[in-house]
Structure 1
């Protein structure tokens, strides 16, 4: 999942584009404090960001107090503060992580206990991996089942499977639309380790969150990222949320910050919370550049976070669409009340994009917290659950499904390979003919390449490639053979010369193959037979889609009694057969590619083992030399003593 998210970071340059400051002087509205780097309205500016600025300026033009969050009218964001807070607070007021519990079921219920795992293939849903174990609860036989698909992992407890419970029956109970023809058992000691790694790949223990400082009256993205330093109220909040660490000395989770050369600042805020590591990207602690009004170095980190805290210096509105980012999907807005006093409190609002589901813990009805460890626990839990919920948004859900699909395919391949290795099986069950097909395919390619090297060599005689079935065969009647047509060389061989030996080969391009091939013929018999691979095409006169009145076998324009002209339906059936053969070869080619990937993995493992053994051999050689030298010294000492 992280690799796919890194690909999405290619969009960050577009995200970081902001309108440059206008050369003319821009007069600020009365009562608003001008922030550093604030640009005036620009006609090239994105409509959403322009509307957010106008919306915030309209709110600020009115007397306070102001709302913490001003949502766009398009409905692209929701605000938890605007919901029925009392209802949610009663149903979800515990500080628990909203992780996918299904990812922990294999470790919790199956690992270390007797269970069985099978894998198969569904034509529609792709790879299927099912794990089940037998349980007896209140004298009732149950089966606990984990079903892994591209769409996700499903868990259920099944009863009444009859006298012969099978994986197919269990799968049908969970997903009736699945039709797996055959399941293969996983028989390898490494199976549980591979399955556990797949199931728990969605569990995260490292999180990074942005922290943006907003001063009063700031309505533009450039203003937020151009704040050089922060006030004491934010410093008090940072001390509550985590510990300030020196990046050069930091050995924990880095969150993408530079810990060697100091290019991302000298300090940051880091915290360990319930076995999870959190790194904050604080805007005022990231490097500030004088000649960059957009402060791309700061947005490069915060703009690639999914969740961010917006710390407001005082009562001022914030619009979630004022920051352009493909990644930022949720904001937690914090506003201090009586900061730096014994009575410090924080007002909190939560907003997120419309496709992000609700996440807990729920805000209390007053949305106000006292400065305490309880508030820290609430806020850190809220941040982690917000990122987990953001993964369910449309943009990230597609990436997650793509990642899960790739990992599931890799899991099935690894389970199949490890099972075959453990059982000593060399062939893959799904492709039992891969060896013969591979040899056949190599011979075809070699013959075609040899033919291409000398296409115009005179006097070249080659034996026809004979096939017993599924070939296009044109038989010349006895009357035609008596006329002296002894080859299928085409129109360039005169029919009145029975002793003429064809010395040229007609080149053609087949519609059914990606390779250009030649009609190889040197046999005096009037039979012209293609190979059984379907990769070699007919000559220009034999290709069905090229109209020619001359028979390629008899060379006569008038009688038309050969099989090619007499029975076109048979020829079309044979052409369809050849097309089917080509499709089979393409499938065999894919199987060879899969085997190639498997072999490359094995070669890599063997190379690593070779390097390890080489190192051990070198160490052993050095030890032998040392012992020999020691024995030599001892022998010399004994002789000298005598």
Structure 2
């Protein structure tokens, strides 16, 4: 199975002849999780200074600074993310009169040495001991601990989105069912207590009776499987299925067709990474990953040829690629401004609460 780009916004990622199918060997921590750990390790419970800004040329800000031996460390929280910065105390200029009185550098000199992009006049020192917990809680609210990925089946002779959404469960092949078992376990939706990814768990079967779910590396993943979602006779576009899978950032297309899949048929604005999987001889799968224009590159690299099995290492590799694909999509032009606005609101709420 190959893909046809046509006039699509999606472009298949290149393969790397030196890459291999491996398990997870790098940190899966998100940037906000790294910020939380860095703040806990270097600031929390220790004497340090917190500065806030409600309004500035860079929007609302929260800056934490501590002196650790001969180094000043700073965590600069902005609407676009956080910066973990360090500067040697010997590199910070101190006025002679401050030295004479045994004082450290002024706020202006300290901030300018840490970063020249800090709008010092807009900052106010906050001495409230509760601020540290509030800043940690703000970062925790941005940690993503659950993912939802779409899965669609393309049968022999099919090549378009409309055709794949028309497939019913009884038409799906044994190989597709084996692949679903590879992804996760089949769970009953009625009464489901875990992450539901927008699926109906009330028992009315509005989104089908079962789905595919897994816990992986501490994250919950629910798969929206086209053949397990309700089929509506007479609905050419199968809008109920498209409502879920069309809103997934990452979608998997399992194809048993000899015809190239038409990437240009993917019309959802929300879909940003398409992973095309096709079975090959010996219980293995060939993988092509095509991100939308504007999505930055993401690991792990795809080997040449990109073929994996149904073993645990291959599963780790595949799920790792999907998770990193969604995370990379957050940096695309269609998502980055929304995430920045959300972070701006959170920072503003904290600043307005403590700058009374």
Residue by residue over 1:517-549, the C-alpha shift from the partner in whole angstroms, topping out at 9 and shown as x without a partner, is xxxxxxxxxxxxxxxxxxxxxxxxxxxxxxxxx
1:192 CA displacement: 1.5
Q: Secondary structure at the match of 1:284?
A: helix
Who is 2:83 aligned against?
154
* Shift in Å, 1:72: 2.9
Between 1 and 2, higher relative CO (CA 8 Å, sep ≥ 6) is seen in: 2
Deviations, residues 136-164 of structure 1 (Å, cap 9, x unaligned): 2xxxx001101122232111111132452
What's the RMSD between the two structures over aligned residues? Answer: 2.3
8 Å CA contact 1:106–1:199 kept in 2: the answer is no
1:239 to 181, 198, 207: 181
CA contact (8 A) 2:24 2:317 kept: no
Please, which of 294, 306, 317 is the counterpart of residue 378 of structure 1?
A: 317
Alignment match, 2:239? 296
The 2-side partners of 1:78 and 1:369 are apart by: 21
1:97–1:316 CA distance, 2 compared to 1 (3 A): farther
5+ residue gaps, structure 1, are: 1-66, 418-642
SS of the residue aligned with 1:181? helix
Instruction: Give SS of 1:309's match.
Output: strand
In structure 2, what is the equivalent of residue 70 of structure 1?
4
Aligned to 1:413: 352
Instruction: Return the offset for 1:414.
Output: 1.6
Would the alpha carbon gap of residues 175 and 322 (structure 1) be closer, same or farther in structure 2, given more than 3 Å must change?
same
After TM superposition, give the deviation of residue 122 of structure 1 in Å. Answer: 5.7
Instruction: Figure out how many residues of one structure are paired with residues of the other and give that number.
Output: 340
1:98–1:388 Cα contact (<8 Å) kept:
no
Show the 5 A alignment for 1:314-393.
Answer: 314-338=257-281, 343-393=282-332
Partners of 1:106 and 1:258 lie apart in 2 by 39
Q: Deviations over 1:19-50 (max 9, x none)?
A: xxxxxxxxxxxxxxxxxxxxxxxxxxxxxxxx
How far 1:107 sits from its partner (Å)?
Answer: 3.0
Q: CA deviation at 1:295?
A: 0.6
Match in the other structure for 2:160: 220
Query: How far apart are 1:177 and its partner, in Å?
Result: 4.0
Structure 2 stretches of 5 or more lacking a match?
none
Cα drift, residue 95 of structure 1: 5.5
Task: Find the counterpart in structure 2 of residue 184 from structure 1.
Answer: 124
In 1: Cα distance, 2:273 partner to 2:319 partner: 14
Q: CA deviation at 1:381?
A: 1.1
Provide the secondary structure at the position in 2 that maps to 1:395: coil
Q: Does 1:97 align with 2:28?
A: yes
What CA distance in whole angstroms lies between the structure 2 residues aligned with 1:319 and 1:124?
45
Would you say 1:109 and 2:38 are equivalent positions? no
- Residue 338 of structure 2 is aligned to residue 399 of structure 1: yes
Deviation of 1:248 (Å):
0.6
**Offset from partner CA, 1:389-434 (integer Å, 9 cap, x none):** 00000010111111111211111012224xxxxxxxxxxxxxxxxx
> Measured at CA, do residues 317 and 108 of structure 1 come closer, stay the same or move farther in structure 2, by a change above 3 Å?
farther
1:190 Cα shift? 2.2
Q: Deviations over 1:576-617 (max 9, x none)?
A: xxxxxxxxxxxxxxxxxxxxxxxxxxxxxxxxxxxxxxxxxx
Kindly indicate whether the alpha-carbon contact (under 8 Å) linking 2:157 and 2:258 is maintained by their aligned counterparts in 1.
no
Cα deviation for residue 88 of structure 1 reads 6.0
Q: Distance in 1 between the 2:105 and 2:127 partners?
A: 19
Structure 2 length-normalised TM: 0.88
Matches within 5 A, 1:157-556: 157-159=86-88, 160=90, 161=92, 162=94, 164-181=104-121, 183-229=123-169, 230-260=172-202, 261-338=204-281, 343-417=282-356
CA deviations 1:455-490 (Å, max 9, x no partner) are xxxxxxxxxxxxxxxxxxxxxxxxxxxxxxxxxxxx
Q: C-alpha separation between the residues in 2 aligned to 1:70 and 1:169?
A: 57
Aligned partners of 1:273, 1:344: CA distance in 2, in Å? 22
**TM-score, normalised via structure 1 length:** 0.50
CA shift at 1:287, angstroms? Answer: 0.4
In structure 2, what is the Cα distance between the partners aligned to 1:98 and 1:360?
A: 14
